[in-house]
């Protein structure tokens, strides 16, 4: 009887041990990330790096003057979110993207784009449309219209003051 209990206990421990090893191996799954890089103009990529972070240390591969449409392979990555950074491929803009690894192999394609140049700065003031509204200043330096307006305002104020302050009988 004691022998059969021992055998049952050993079988039970083996069963639990096998299940726990299976759970551990599921947690240790490794994923692959395939990255294809191309350029918008079909030109060679002059240099730079492709990096994948989300692991203990970022994993980087040099682009190094390879033609456009280059493929980069990263294997043994853990599941979850990883940041892909493509940088240093001047004159192309850097790219940063988040990729979620939940399948055995995930493939992504990135297209490098050149920075759009800014339009040249405008050095002259734009011409304003002629609408006919308002008055234009003459170059003669005449201040007659201004003096007339000031004089008329002064007379109006003086007349209004006299009317307000007259003696009442």
Over residues 116-125, the mean pLDDT reads 73
Residue 160 in domain: no
- pLDDT surpassing 80 at residue 88: yes
Contacts of 71 (CB under 8 A, 6+ apart): 34, 35, 36
- Tell me which residue of 102, 71, 99, 73 sits closest to 85, measured CA to CA: 99
Whichever domain contains 62, its CATH number is: 2.60.40.10
Residue 78 domain boundaries: 29-112
- Tell me which residue of 83, 36, 92, 42 sits closest to 59, measured CA to CA: 83
Q: Which of 27-31, 57-61, 108-112 has the lowest mean pLDDT?
A: 27-31
Residue 57 in domain: yes
Residue 166 in domain: no
Q: Is the pTM of this model over 0.85?
A: no
Give the integer Cα–Cα distance in Å for 168 and 2.
135
- pLDDT surpassing 50 at residue 24: no
Residue 1 in domain: no
Contacts of 65 (CB under 8 A, 6+ apart): 44, 45, 46, 47
Residue 10 in domain: no
Read off the DSSP letter of residue 91.
T
From residue 83, alpha-carbon distances to 24, 45, 50, 74 in Å are 25, 21, 10, 12
Residue 118 in domain: no
Residue 84 in domain: yes
Contact (CB, 8 A) for 99 and 26? no
Total domain count, the chain: 1
Tokens linked to 169: 């009988």
Q: Which of 28-32, 71-75, 125-129 has the lowest mean pLDDT?
A: 125-129
Q: Give me the percent of the chain exceeding a pLDDT of 90.
A: 24
Give the integer Cα–Cα distance in Å for 110 and 72.
11
Q: Which of 49-58, 114-123, 126-135 has the lowest mean pLDDT?
A: 126-135
Residue 90 in domain: yes
């Amino acid at each position: 009887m004691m022998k059969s209990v021992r055998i049952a206990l050993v079988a039970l421990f083996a069963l639990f041990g096998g299940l726990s090893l299976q759970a551990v191996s599921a947690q240790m799954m490794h994923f692959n990330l395939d990255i294809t890089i191309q350029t918008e103009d079909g030109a060679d990529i002059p240099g730079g790096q492709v990096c994948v972070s989300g692991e203990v240390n970022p994993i980087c591969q040099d682009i190094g003057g390879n033609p456009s449409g280059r493929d980069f392979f990263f294997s043994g990555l853990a599941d979850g979110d990883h940041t892909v950074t493509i940088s240093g491929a001047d004159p192309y803009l850097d790219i940063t993207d988040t990729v979620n690894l939940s399948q055995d192999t995930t493939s992504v394609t990135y297209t490098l784009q050149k920075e759009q140049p800014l339009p040249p700065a405008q050095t002259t003031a734009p011409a304003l449309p002629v609408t006919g509204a308002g008055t234009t200043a003459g170059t003669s330096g005449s201040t007659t219209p201004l003096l007339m307006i000031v004089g008329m305002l002064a007379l109006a104020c003086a007349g209004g003051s006299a009317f307000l302050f007259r003696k009442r009988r």
